[in-house]
Amino acid sequence: MKEFKSSAYIVVKNLIYGIIGGAVIAFILNIWINIWYALGLGVLIAIWYVLTTLLKDMKKVVIYDDRFEIVRRGKVLHSFKRSEVAIRASIRTKGGDSDCTLRITSADGREELIDCSMLGRNRFYRLIDELGVLDPEPIELKTKKKD
């Protein structure tokens, strides 16, 4: 059994984003409303962002011999038999942030998209290597211009 948990770096980064976002909103709201109301709203928005981001995105992937599971807060969200699904991976990096996604297609054609961004890029690469997904990066095609 192997587990791939959320990256501490990404968790801390999201905490910082939430705090900075709340402070910026409080600063902007201070122009129109009382400073205490602005601070209160900024704190509430920061807490809301941090909780929704962390509670929604804190996942781990557990790989067993013949199956793997997506788990959030001890609850199994998805369970897949490795032999019954096709797995594709995509990584999009923009401005230092990577969006990591698993596309899991079952035998009946149903597709599940699993956001694995909280794992971080390196753990995601190890995950797709462990799952046996080949070529996670898109192939760059070069074409020649006809004269």
Q: Identify whether residues 68 and 46 lie together within a single domain.
A: no
pLDDT of residue 140: 58
Kind and range of the H or E run holding 49: helix 35-57
Residue 136 maps to a domain: no
Q: How many CB atoms lie within 10 A of CB 108?
A: 6
Q: Identify whether residues 94 and 35 lie together within a single domain.
A: no
Q: Identify whether residues 80 and 112 lie together within a single domain.
A: yes
pLDDT band for position 139 (50/70/90)?
Answer: low
CB 61 within 8 A of CB 4: yes
Q: Identify whether residues 51 and 88 lie together within a single domain.
A: no
pLDDT in tens, 42-101: 899 889 888 888 777 788 889 888 888 988 888 888 888 888 888 888 888 887 777 888
Residue 96 maps to a domain: yes
* Domain total in the chain: 2
Instruction: Determine the structural domain holding residue 91 and report its residue range.
Output: 59-131
Nearest to 58, CA basis, from 117, 102, 18? 117
Query: CA 91 to CA 115: how far, in whole Å?
Result: 10
Q: Identify whether residues 112 and 67 lie together within a single domain.
A: yes
Q: Identify whether residues 50 and 66 lie together within a single domain.
A: no
Q: pTM for the whole thing?
A: 0.72
Which of residues 12 and 139 earns the better pLDDT score? 12
